[in-house]
C-alpha cells in the first residue's frame, strides 16, 4: 500500500483578502495552511512562509528579519502596488525572501513557487544546525571530535590539572569551558587569563592581586584572577608565554594552595582547579630553559590535544553553516548557504588558522556575498587552487588521490554516507573499508 505524502506546512503571516481566497486551492494540493499576525508568528512552525509585506514592515524591518532568521526556512513576499513604489523595497525583498508575488495572484505560479521554496528549504536544512544547549558547542561528527567529547566527559569530574595542547584556533578555551561546565565546580566562577596578552610588568598583579600602595598607580586593593576563581576553575591560556619569574610563583601556588598579594604578607588560601593551554612545544621550551620542568609536570597531570580543522573530515560544511547562521544576526543579513564552488575551495584550503579562520572567513563571506549563496571569492579563497604534491611512486599518487576523494565527498555528504559511497561509485562496505584504511572518521 502506498502511503500518502506528508502534508507540507505553510504559514501565511498578516494575510490579506486575496491571500485568504488563495488558501482553499493550496489545501486541495496538499498544503497544511495556517495563518497569524507577525506578532504571533514566532510561536508557529512551518516548511514555507508567505508574508504579506506592508509599509509598516519596512519601517520596522527587525521583526521580519528576526522571524525569517529564526524560522530556518524559505519565505515568499506578497506585495501590492503601494509597497512596490516604496524606496529600497527591492533590496529588502532580494536579501530576505526566496521569491515574491504581486497582487492579484497568479495561482498556478504561486503553487510552483511554493514547491520550489519547499525544495530549497529542505536542501538548506541539510547541514544546518541549531544550538540550544551549551553542551553542544563542541560541534562536529568527525572521529577526532567524537573522541574529544568522550575524553572530556571522563576528565571533567576529576580535580586534576589538565594541559590542553593544539594549534591556534582549534578551540582550546572552548575545551576548558566544557571541562568546567561538566565538572562539580560548574556553579562557581570560570576565570580565564591569556598569559601572552598582558604586559609582563602587570601579570603578577593580574594573577595574584595587589595591596593599596604596592606600586605606583596602585590606588586601591585589587583581587587577582586566581583569587577571583576561588571555588571554580582558573584557565591559563598560552601558558608557554608566562615569564620564568611568574612560573616560579605559579608553581608555589600549585604546591601550597595559597597566594600573597603584591605588596602584602598575608597568606590567602584559594581553592581552584587549574587548566592550562598552549600551542607551543613545551618540551622544547624546557630544553631551552624557557619553561620550568617542575611546573610542566604540575600542569601536565592530564592532557587533551585538540585536532586541527584539516584532520576533522566531514565537519567543515557543518561548522561553516553554523557560523553562517551565528553571524547573520551580527551582519543583519539572512543566513546563506555555500555554493559548490565555495565548498570545493574550502575542502582544498589547509586552514592554518583552523576553526577561528573558518569563522572569520564565513563572517567576511556574509558581508561580501551578492547572490543567494556565498561563493569562494567571498571567502577570500580560490576555487581551482591546486597544490602541487611532491614527486613519488605511482602508488603514492594513487593513495593521495584516494584519500583526497574520501575527504572531498565527506565534506559535502557527511550526513549521508550511502550517498557519499554512490558519488564515488563504490559500495557502502568498500566505502567503510577505505575510511578505515585511511584512518578517517
Tens-place pLDDT, residues 309-350: 999 988 998 899 889 988 887 777 778 888 888 988 998 899
Model pTM above 0.85: no
Look at residue 228 and give its three-state secondary structure: helix
The region, left, alpha or beta by phi > 0 then psi within -120 to 50, assigned to residue 238 is left
Give the list of residues 6+ apart from residue 193 with CB closer than 8 angstroms, or none.
206, 207, 225, 234, 235, 236, 237
The region, left, alpha or beta by phi > 0 then psi within -120 to 50, assigned to residue 239 is alpha
Domain endpoint, select from 125, 159, 177: 125
Q: Assess whether 149 and 242 both reside in one domain.
A: yes
pLDDT tops 90 at residue 388: no
> Nearest CA to 207 among 177, 152, 248?
248
The number of folded domains in the chain is 4
Domain endpoint, select from 278, 306, 334: 306
Residue 183 to residues 22, 138, 173, 180, 300, Cα–Cα distance (Å): 56, 16, 15, 5, 18
pLDDT tops 50 at residue 3: no
What's the CA angle centered on 213, arms 210 and 219, to 5 degrees? 85
pLDDT of residue 126: 44
Task: Give the domain CATH number at 236.
Answer: 3.40.50.300
Q: Assess whether 262 and 165 both reside in one domain.
A: yes
pLDDT of residue 94: 82
Residue 134, domain member (yes or no): no
Considering only residues 244 and 400, tell me which one the structure prediction assigns the higher pLDDT: 244
Give the distance from CA 221 to its chain's centroid.
39
Task: Give the domain CATH number at 23.
Answer: 3.40.50.2300
pLDDT tops 50 at residue 298: yes
DSSP 39: G
Residue 1, domain member (yes or no): no
Q: Assess whether 284 and 176 both reside in one domain.
A: yes
pLDDT tops 60 at residue 15: yes
Give tens-digit pLDDT for 70-82: 887 889 999 988 8
Q: Assess whether 75 and 214 both reside in one domain.
A: no
What's the CA angle centered on 246, arms 245 and 252, to 5 degrees? 100
Considering only residues 163 and 334, tell me which one the structure prediction assigns the higher pLDDT: 163
Q: Assess whether 227 and 280 both reside in one domain.
A: yes
Q: Assess whether 363 and 326 both reside in one domain.
A: yes
Residue 136, domain member (yes or no): no
pLDDT tops 90 at residue 434: no
Give tens-digit pLDDT for 92-127: 888 888 889 988 888 888 888 898 888 877 766 543
Residue 239, domain member (yes or no): yes
> Nearest CA to 258 among 245, 247, 267?
267
Domain range enclosing 433: 388-441
Q: Assess whether 159 and 270 both reside in one domain.
A: yes
Q: Are 132 and 111 in contact (CB under 8 A)?
A: no
Task: Give the domain CATH number at 317.
Answer: 1.10.8.60
Q: Assess whether 236 and 296 both reside in one domain.
A: yes
Q: Assess whether 395 and 320 both reside in one domain.
A: no
Q: Assess whether 331 and 213 both reside in one domain.
A: no
- For 6, phi then psi, to 5°, come to -65, 145
Q: Assess whether 153 and 260 both reside in one domain.
A: yes
Q: Assess whether 364 and 287 both reside in one domain.
A: no
Amino acid at each position: 500500500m502506498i502511503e500518502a505524502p506528508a502534508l507540507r506546512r505553510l504559514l501565511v503571516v498578516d494575510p490579506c483578502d486575496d491571500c485568504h481566497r488563495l488558501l482553499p486551492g493550496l489545501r486541495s494540493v496538499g498544503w497544511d495552511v495556517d495563518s497569524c499576525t507577525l506578532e504571533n508568528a514566532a510561536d508557529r512552525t512551518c516548511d514555507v512562509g508567505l508574508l504579506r509585506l506592508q509599509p509598516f514592515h519596512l519601517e520596522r524591518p527587525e521583526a521580519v528579519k528576526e522571524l525569517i532568521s529564526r524560522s530556518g526556512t524559505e519565505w515568499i513576499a506578497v506585495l501590492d502596488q503601494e509597497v512596490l513604489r516604496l524606496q529600497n523595497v527591492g533590496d529588502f525583498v532580494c536579501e530576505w525572501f526566496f521569491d515574491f508575488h504581486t497582487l492579484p495572484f497568479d495561482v498556478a505560479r504561486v503553487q510552483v513557487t511554493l514547491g520550489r521554496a519547499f525544495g530549497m528549504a529542505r536542501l538548506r536544512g541539510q547541514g544546518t544546525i541549531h544550538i540550544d544547549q551549551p553542551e553542544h558547542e563542541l560541534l562536529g561528527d568527525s572521529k577526532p571530535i567524537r573522541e574529544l567529547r568522550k575524553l572530556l566527559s571522563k576528565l571533567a569530574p576529576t580535580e586534576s590539572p589538565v594541559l590542553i595542547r593544539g594549534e591556534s584556533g582549534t578551540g582550546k578555551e572552548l575545551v576548558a569551558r566544557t571541562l568546567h561546565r561538566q565538572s562539580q565546580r560548574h556553579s562557581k566562577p570560570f576565570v580565564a587569563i591569556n598569559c601572552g596578552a598582558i604586559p609582563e610588568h602587570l601579570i603578577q598583579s593580574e594573577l595574584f592581586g595587589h595591596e593599596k600602595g604596592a606600586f605606583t598607580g596602585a590606588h586601591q586593593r585589587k583581587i587577582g584572577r586566581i583569587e577571583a576563581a576561588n571555588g571554580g576553575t582558573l584557565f591559563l591560556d598560552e601558558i608557554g608565554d608566562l615569564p620564568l619569574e611568574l612560573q616560579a610563583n605559579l608553581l608555589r601556588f600549585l604546591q601550597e594552595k595559597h597566594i600573597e598579594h603584591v605588596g602584602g604578607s598575608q597568606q590567602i588560601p584559594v581553592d581552584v582547579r587549574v587548566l592550562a593551554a598552549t600551542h607551543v612545544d613545551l618540551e622544547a621550551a624546557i630544553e631551552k630553559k624557557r619553561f620550568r620542568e617542575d611546573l610542566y609536570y604540575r600542569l601536565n597531570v592530564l592532557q587533551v590535544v585538540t585536532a586541527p580543522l584539516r584532520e576533522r573530515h566531514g565537519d567543515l560544511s557543518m561548522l561553516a553553516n553554523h557560523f553562517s547562521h551565528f553571524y547573520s544576526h551580527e551582519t543583519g543579513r539572512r543566513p546563506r548557504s555555500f555554493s559548490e564552488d565555495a565548498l570545493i575551495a574550502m575542502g582544498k584550503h589547509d586552514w592554518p588558522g583552523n576553526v577561528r579562520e573558518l569563522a572569520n572567513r564565513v563572517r567576511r563571506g556574509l558581508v561580501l556575498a551578492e547572490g543567494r549563496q556565498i561563493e569562494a571569492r567571498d571567502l577570500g579563497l580560490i576555487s581551482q587552487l591546486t597544490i602541487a604534491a611532491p614527486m613519488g611512486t605511482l602508488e603514492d599518487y594513487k593513495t593521495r588521490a584516494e584519500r583526497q576523494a574520501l575527504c572531498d565527498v565527506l565534506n559535502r555528504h557527511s550526513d549521508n554516507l550511502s550517498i557519499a559511497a554512490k558519488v564515488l561509485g563504490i559500495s557502502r562496505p568498500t566505502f567503510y573499508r577505505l575510511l578505515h584504511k585511511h584512518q578517517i572518521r
